[in-house]
Chain A
């Protein structure tokens, strides 16, 4: 369990980092918190020839509210979100989620953007990004581009990130005051990757649900939206029966994977329970 040989660069500016990524292309990987990359290298499942360590680039360590958005820099660690990073329901939801990511020491190192870049199927931040309509800001030596969460995930551990690019920021639109969030997951042990999770966001206006989004994680190759369940909720009063029906719909239409920890059928049951819990949390908030 020793990594294959690699070169380690620790630039102090974003420009230097992007130049290194441009030079080394596919050979290079960004090293952020290292909490996923380093173990995979130890197992030699990843063997980048060059690591571009971004930990010394201080400006990347930010979480700021600007222009109606929450902007999360590449060095914002999970632990930062344990306390409310922004007023209101969004900050509350992010804090609730943060407590479910791994263990405290890990949360001090691992980054929000690293989770998005790593794209583990059971990553809480990935499901959240989908539910919260995140946009990824990608930087490379000669420019910037943005990718919406729905186009970002491209299967297990794969994303729209191209060689030479860095995920510089994730941008979450600040929701309306009538917006509420909910989160539930099921893991065998505290801090484990979940066997199933649901992140939901919806507006409650005049007693009716609007703009509901339900993202499911932990069940397959990448987080997915439970579109049928979202449609079912639209414009309805959130009765307990409706939430149950939405949960059952999400479970029926999802495509859970089977592995040694959970048969597909079991995951499907968990989806129903987690969606129900997350929805109840949202409407009762």
Chain B
């Protein structure tokens, strides 16, 4: 029986659907409540900071001065002119963005803590804030941090010799400058943690809504100068993260410090307003592209100037370089780009810091290059699919302009398949007819690849001080025959317990119900990198496969001893070890291996435990997205009529879970394209601190998403699986905005900013009459 490839229902779901999940706020019951005093101004010097004159019993007020000796958060990067910006856990001198935590108030209840915060004395001498690219990059602008001249925290540049000549010699030069709005990852559950002192052992247990528990543990222990062994970090049920919960932000070290110092139990549960203004933002970028094409529409040269607003600090462990440098490294995407020149800068401003968000820079660079392709198609008189076909990589492995190896993929096949499903000629006829009635339909494409499952070598190339990548899985069969796999990945909604059990079940000939995946607890799992960057199924899954194969080998050797045959003659299937006509239950073998080891130990040693490690170089999944939209010219409203995804992520372990990932990603991508934007007033005050103002779409705005899979099995991973966690959000902004631009083509306008909100669309077409 093969479990891989089946739409097995998620074993995670029943308790969650019954409301029996255990999230941080469930664990927080009974703990002392912590609330943070947050900066009301974007920039300034702290003149006075004092608790209310009368503090009720059981209340505490903690400032940076109390936490003297605690190190500042200071992630490192050894190249690209990186300026090692420091973030004090709680500042004592200056504030750098509205919402920055300045002090912690502890009280028996959150309401009382909030009451007390209202009467704290906080006096800040406000200074001129730096908000937005223009303010930050103006010569002589105030510096967000003196260590970063010109407010540039990181800068990368590539410019091959002869680039200018290549571009100048092109038959057509097409330009495109655009801006992508700032976003919040907006997990359904905000951040939060409970830190608890254990009197018996003197250890601290931190339960946190986190994506990377081991890294959080290492990071906090370093900041606080405490033995790492005295800290246990647990990620219980986590209601989404999307990258935001990778970051080590100040609230967690404060909780651990409180628990150690005051030997108690302290909880902070972030509210939505804090999450929107003070957690982490992303994708606030401005790009200018120039591309040279030959007369047939082949891309000869691409030049990109990339600015990413990284906010006020550099987030640990990824650093504030993660967006600009990903854009630098991956702009060419699935296209053959013979000559590529790029400059990418991370710009500091007095705003909430940037952290990775599902797809990181890829939604933005995909938007850039896919809009560019449509523009070039118009200039050259080619159909949008045709210009892409002429430029997509079609021979593998290929090498990208920045030296990345593109493994076997289906760039052209996915495009062709999407075109076939869509029936473009029929759509064009419908579009014509609608235009005659003053209705504007548009079709947009987005072709991209998604770098997934990349291990240590890929991260090492980024030169960060903290290099993620590998995964280790400890697997053991219990005397009862059940299997425990302890993983360093840390799922938080992805259904990994189900998919990993499918992989392991196939290797051991067991039912997935016999496999328990143990995750999210630093005391019970091997050191690992958590879940992000579409890595866990590929890398954690690969390590599970390695570990399970070793265990299977051991079981075969044990069975061979008992069945008196060669290990190679033993097959594990349906819970049995089978050799020809002879067989025995695997559970019986497990019992004997533990309790009658004298029968087996010279063949297999003691216990049934193995370790698997996996550290792949990386693989690219790919997709073609297509959107059909209708733009209402008089209001600027966009309705997504149809959304199609043709996706290739290699071997699909569980198609239902894969589809769920794509659907969720596309929904976030549509949000990115049409709805969500973090907006700051010129003085650095965030204006989008509620869901009424940040306007995430609801199910009423998101269409049915049609998903088709192709399966290209490359050699890049041992399971044949490629990651697909981010693709949905990567492809959608380009597909949607290309569709809007197509719809509005009679007006002769071009969308160069997203989200493409109704007022922005009206501003584009106001006063313009459509061409017949």
The stretch that binds B, out of A123-131, A157-165, A172-180, A261-269, is A261-269
Chain A residue nearest to B272 (CB atoms) is A1
How far, in angstroms, from A1 to B695 measured CA to CA in the complex?
Answer: 19
Contact residue among B114, B271, B675, B759 (Cβ-Cβ distance under 8 Å from A189) = B675
How far, in angstroms, from A2 to B116 measured CA to CA in the complex?
Answer: 12
Main secondary structure of the interface of A (DSSP, over half): loop
Q: Note all chain B residues with C-beta closer than 8 A to A260.
A: 679, 687-688, 693
How far, in angstroms, from A189 to B702 measured CA to CA in the complex?
Answer: 10
How far, in angstroms, from A265 to B273 measured CA to CA in the complex?
Answer: 30
Interface positions, chain A 234-285, Cβ under 8 Å from B, are 260-263, 265-266, 269-270, 273
Known contacts A189-B698, A260-B688: A273-B110 contact under CB 8 Å: no
Is B115 on the interface with A (CB-CB < 8 A)?
A: yes
Interface positions, chain A 3-30, Cβ under 8 Å from B, are 3-5
Is A193 on the interface with B (CB-CB < 8 A)?
A: yes
Is A191 on the interface with B (CB-CB < 8 A)?
A: yes
Q: Note all chain B residues with C-beta closer than 8 A to A266.
A: 636, 758-759, 762-763
Is B637 on the interface with A (CB-CB < 8 A)?
A: yes
Chain B residue nearest to A274 (CB atoms) is B635
Q: Note all chain A residues with C-beta closer than 8 A to B762.
A: 266, 269
Is A183 on the interface with B (CB-CB < 8 A)?
A: no
Chain A residue nearest to B689 (CB atoms) is A43
B700 x A189 contact (CB < 8 A): yes
Chain A residue nearest to B759 (CB atoms) is A266
Shortest B128–chain A CB gap in Å is 22
Q: Note all chain A residues with C-beta closer than 8 A to B759.
A: 261-263, 266
How far, in angstroms, from A189 to B758 measured CA to CA in the complex?
Answer: 11
Is A190 on the interface with B (CB-CB < 8 A)?
A: yes
Contact residue among A44, A193, A269 (Cβ-Cβ distance under 8 Å from B692) = A193
1/0 per residue, CB under 8 A from B, across A192-205: the answer is 11000000000000
Shortest B181–chain A CB gap in Å is 12
Known contacts A1-B272, A260-B693, A266-B759: A186-B698 contact under CB 8 Å: no
A189 x B687 contact (CB < 8 A): no
Chain B residue nearest to A269 (CB atoms) is B762
Is B383 on the interface with A (CB-CB < 8 A)?
A: no
B697 x A189 contact (CB < 8 A): yes
A189 x B272 contact (CB < 8 A): no
Shortest B18–chain A CB gap in Å is 20
Q: Note all chain A residues with C-beta closer than 8 A to B697.
A: 189
1/0 per residue, CB under 8 A from A, across B661-693: the answer is 000000000000001000100000001100011
Contact residue among A5, A43, A188 (Cβ-Cβ distance under 8 Å from B758) = A188
Q: Note all chain A residues with C-beta closer than 8 A to B695.
A: 188-189, 192, 261
Is B434 on the interface with A (CB-CB < 8 A)?
A: no
Shortest B333–chain A CB gap in Å is 31
A191 x B698 contact (CB < 8 A): yes
Chain A residue nearest to B33 (CB atoms) is A2
A2 x B698 contact (CB < 8 A): no
Q: Note all chain A residues with C-beta closer than 8 A to B698.
A: 103, 189-191
Q: Note all chain A residues with C-beta closer than 8 A to B588.
A: none
Among B635, B757, B759, chain A packs the most CB atoms within 10 A around the CB of B759
How far, in angstroms, from A190 to B675 measured CA to CA in the complex?
Answer: 12
Shortest B702–chain A CB gap in Å is 10
Q: Note all chain B residues with C-beta closer than 8 A to A3.
A: 111
Shortest B82–chain A CB gap in Å is 34
Shortest B698–chain A CB gap in Å is 6
Q: Note all chain A residues with C-beta closer than 8 A to B273.
A: 1, 43
Shortest B178–chain A CB gap in Å is 20
Q: Note all chain B residues with C-beta closer than 8 A to A188.
A: 675, 695, 757-758
Shortest B28–chain A CB gap in Å is 14
B701 x A190 contact (CB < 8 A): yes
Q: Note all chain A residues with C-beta closer than 8 A to B700.
A: 189-191
Q: Using a CB–CB distance below 8 Å, which chain A residues touch chain B?
A: 1-5, 43-44, 103, 186, 188-193, 260-263, 265-266, 269-270, 273
5 A–B pairs (Cβ distance < 8 Å), ordered by A: A1-B273, A5-B111, A189-B701, A191-B700, A192-B692
Q: Using a CB–CB distance below 8 Å, which chain B residues touch chain A?
A: 109-111, 114-115, 118, 271-273, 634-637, 675, 679, 687-688, 692-693, 695, 697-698, 700-701, 757-759, 762-763, 766
Q: Which 6 A-B residue pairings sit nearest by Cβ, starting from the closest?
A: A190-B700, A2-B111, A1-B271, A266-B759, A273-B634, A2-B114
Q: A1-B114, A43-B273, A260-B693 are in contact. List 7 more A-B contacts (CB 8 A).
A: A2-B111, A186-B635, A188-B675, A191-B698, A269-B762, A269-B766, A273-B635
